[in-house]
Structure 1
């Protein structure tokens, strides 16, 4: 993630390019001028494994560069190398291994959706949902992870699937995808 700090003009077409990319998607997209403080990225760039750096460029319809940024990915490669392979852990241990990152990164709306869906799936009951829902975001996240881990592999696995479904970026950040 990097700030854009470029001025785009309504009605113009732009392309995103990255020389090392295996794929940039979508090929074309409209830019929303009313993004607000929390928004999803417009483009996804897929790079080969072990890519240490890449240059991302936004070009206008005349093929002129309007924004260019060199991205250093070496830190993310090193941090991945130092972590155990999450898939080799049980679902309960996988949740526990990402607990603090989950607490820091999950949004309150995602937590609320998780509570609703866990209730619908009979993984938690009304009393458990109500006790979690009244807490602060961080305490809500901690309590939810701990509550589900204690319910075993199936419940933990279902929560991992919910995180993947409700917040793809968080799932990738936590290496749950």
Structure 2
């Protein structure tokens, strides 16, 4: 800053078509920067996720400056191990980009593994696991998981873009059974605005601690960390409840969590078909596709049918894929139409 002033910034979605026309790709979030005195800001340090080896490539990183007039590219004053330093001619949209032709041989970046524990009271514990570049803002991802607990971990690792990864779980209880969905997934560069989990881990019996591993496509462990699954809000909430109100947890569990998720869907099948609205059904199909519970042809088939027939088809398709897939549908319904969920759960 050249002088004292208020500075405001937020992240905004990239316009991929604009980048492609310039032959560039995003290498970090796109920031919308504003100030009460535009002349006060003279320099920015934008975080990157490149490894030391990648930084040896001359001219790999630059900064894009997007205004109403179009796109211009700013050459960095300096590239440190963590940031790109650039002079700012005037404020607008600014973000780090890279030249894909210089990245043909090496696509390894500094990454981070973020883990969220979904709220308790379900048949199984569910972990949302994200594989991301380390310059993605953790707060932005957490905002998409309101209600879930962000588990603070040693998250640093190195990841190769376009390589496949898988998540593995080693519970302390050797009888523990877990399901990961999908089994493996290709790591791609993502900078929002949505941050869907890369993997879902379903623990079919409750436990307080597990060990999570991320393996690359050759079976090498690229990240390893013990994870505590105790909800820090649980103890706090218990302190605020009168002793006479602290009934056994089994008495407070919703009816749908006392039976396997696929069996619960079967029990509410008729009422779900009669009550679900077309907009909610459409959004459910989108979420099931994003979570890879259904494939695109299954989604399109349900959408071409009447509301009742489409609801019947999607419920039966998901239910037949088992408890883990059924749980994804139930959680999506709870988020999209809480009233219908409560109605079904009380029936």
State the Cα distance separating 1:88 from its structure 2 match.
2.0
Structure 1 residue 169, shift from structure 2 partner: 0.4
Cα displacement string for residues 66-91 of structure 1 (whole angstroms, at most 9, x for unaligned residues): xxxxxxxxxxxxxxxxxxx4332110
Give SS of 1:147's match: helix
**1-structure distance, mates of 2:331, 2:258:** 16
Q: Does 1:164 align with 2:334?
A: yes
Aligned to 1:35: none
SS at match of 1:174: helix
Pick from 256, 260, 263: which aligns with 1:86?
Answer: 256
Moved over 3 A (4+): none
Q: Partners in 1 of 2:293 and 2:287 — Cα distance?
A: 9
Structure 1 or 2: more helix by fraction: 1
Residues 98-120 of structure 1: CA deviation (Å, up to 9, x unaligned): 01010111000000001111111
**Structure 1 unaligned regions, length at least 5:** 1-84
The question of 1:101 aligning with 2:271 is answered yes
State which of 240, 256, 280 in structure 2 corresponds to 1:110: 280
1:137-156 superposed Cα distances (whole Å, 9 cap, x missing partner): 00011101100001111110
Which has the larger Rg? 2
Give the direction of change, closer, same or farther, for the CA distance of 1:117–1:86 in structure 2 (3 Å limit): closer
Secondary structure of 2:293's aligned partner: coil
Q: Does 1:132 align with 2:305?
A: no
C-alpha distance in 2 between matches for 1:172 and 1:155 = 20
TM-align CA RMSD: 1.1
- In structure 2, the partner of 1:141 is 311
Q: TM-score, normalised by structure 1?
A: 0.50
In 2: Cα distance, 1:87 partner to 1:126 partner: 29
Partner of 1:48: none
Q: Whole-Å Cα distance in 2 between the matches of residues 86 and 115 of structure 1?
A: 21
Tell me the secondary structure at the aligned position of residue 151 of structure 1: coil
Task: Give the match for residue 154 of structure 1.
Answer: 324
The whole-number CA distance in structure 1 between the counterparts of 2:344 and 2:333 is 10
State the TM-score, normalizing by the size of structure 2: 0.26
Where relative contact order (Cα < 8 A, 6+ residues apart) is larger, the structure is: 1
Provide the rounded CA distance (Å) in 2 between the counterparts of 1:116 and 1:132.
11
Which SS does the other structure have where 1:135 is aligned? coil
Q: Name the structure with the higher strand share.
A: 2
Aligned length: 92
CA distance in structure 2 between the partners assigned to 1:122 and 1:87 by the alignment: 22
Partner of 1:129, secondary structure, is helix
CA displacement 1:111-137 (0-9 Å, x = unmatched)? 000111111111111111111110000
